[in-house]
Structure 1
Amino acid sequence: MNHSFILQAEWDGGRNSEGRIEANQLKTAISIPKEMGGPGIGTNPDEMLLGAAATCYLITLAAMMERGSLPVEKLSLESEGIVDVTNNIFTYVSITHKPYIRLKPEASEKDMEHARKLAEKAEGSCMISRAIAGNVALSTLPHIEKSGEGEA
């Protein structure tokens, strides 16, 4: 069974102009980021690729931990995308996901290890990661702790 996603886009001129996109729940202005010599209005393809990879990873990890019956208290994510600019050629080099997983106090050492394995495995299970694999280096640096440990 296939699922179709439709995005409508408008662009108001040349390279340093701005545009708009809309796709179901997504509606935003777009332009080239200031860091790359653009106007920096709204979002941009670099942020959108990072957002797609990060949200796919996070949702996949949450589903895997739920199926694994892990006692999760908190799950959050920071993801970093690196874009190389050499000779005015822009190349998306890497995406690193840094999930923070805090398990409930009753979590065992086995649960902690299971969470670590799932954090690593989620990358390869996410459809966006699979779509960009081989073109963008993907890595995961999980931080896993039990509630009450390491908290200030």
Structure 2
Amino acid sequence: MPIQPVDVAYTAVATAENGRDGRVASDDGNLDVVVNPPKELGGSGAGTNPEQLFAAGYSACFQGALGVVARQAKADISGSTVTAEVGIGKTPDGGFGIKVALTTRIPNVDEATARALVEKAHQVCPYSNATRGNIEVTLTVG
């Protein structure tokens, strides 16, 4: 699929120092965190890591997309949550890759409606659009 042009409304800026074993900060000062590889990847696990940051961003973005499609459908998603699990590991070619599992809970709608909303949100969410065709993303309605 060709890259679609984007009329940029906002740009986030963050700078990393020392890669996976250092610090990441946003230019506006709202984010300033120590990053460290998890113990499973040989680090101390003392700070956050890029996978946690990606999971936080994806879950928040997907929740926002869910809100957009729910308003269009006039569906009540109050009390809903989106949990993103981001896994990292080796790829068959010797590199590294990630995969994502999104679990969405929507207590105030039936399962069929919840599934339809999640599928539509997956088409709207900028993170879903950025990763589509690049990484495995599974959707679960819980």
Partners of 2:77 and 2:95 in 1: CA distance: 42
CA separation of 1:9/1:69 partners in 2, compared to 1, >3 Å: closer, same or farther?
A: same
- Which residue number in structure 2 is paired with residue 9 of structure 1? 16
Partners of 1:39 and 1:137 in 2: CA distance: 28
TM-score normalised by L of structure 1: 0.73
Backbone CA RMSD of aligned residues = 2.4
Count of matched residue positions in the alignment of Structure 1 and Structure 2: 132
User: Structure 1 counterpart of 2:126, which letter?
Assistant: M
- Determine which structure has more spread, i.e. the larger CA radius of gyration: 1
TM-score normalised by L of structure 2: 0.78
Residues 47-75 of structure 1, C-alpha deviations (whole Å, 9 max, x = no match): 22222222211111122212322133420
- Which residue number in structure 1 is paired with residue 4 of structure 2? none
Residues 9-41 of structure 1, C-alpha deviations (whole Å, 9 max, x = no match): 323xxx7x8321111322211122211011222
The Cα shift of 1:86 comes to 5.9
Do the aligned partners of 1:61 and 1:119 also contact (CA within 8 Å) in 2? yes
Do the aligned partners of 1:65 and 1:115 also contact (CA within 8 Å) in 2? no
Q: Where does the alignment leave 5 or more consecutive residues of structure 1 unmatched?
A: 144-152
- Which residue number in structure 1 is paired with residue 100 of structure 2? 95
Partners of 1:32 and 1:44 in 2: CA distance: 6
User: Structure 2 counterpart of 1:66, which letter?
Assistant: R
- Which residue number in structure 2 is paired with residue 140 of structure 1? 139
Partners of 1:136 and 1:63 in 2: CA distance: 24
Q: Where does the alignment leave 5 or more consecutive residues of structure 2 unmatched?
A: 1-6
- Which residue number in structure 2 is paired with residue 60 of structure 1? 65
- Which residue number in structure 1 is paired with residue 117 of structure 2? 118
More strand by share: 1
- Which residue number in structure 2 is paired with residue 149 of structure 1? none
- The equivalences for 1:4-43 within 5 A come to 4-11=11-18, 18-23=21-26, 24=28, 25-43=30-48
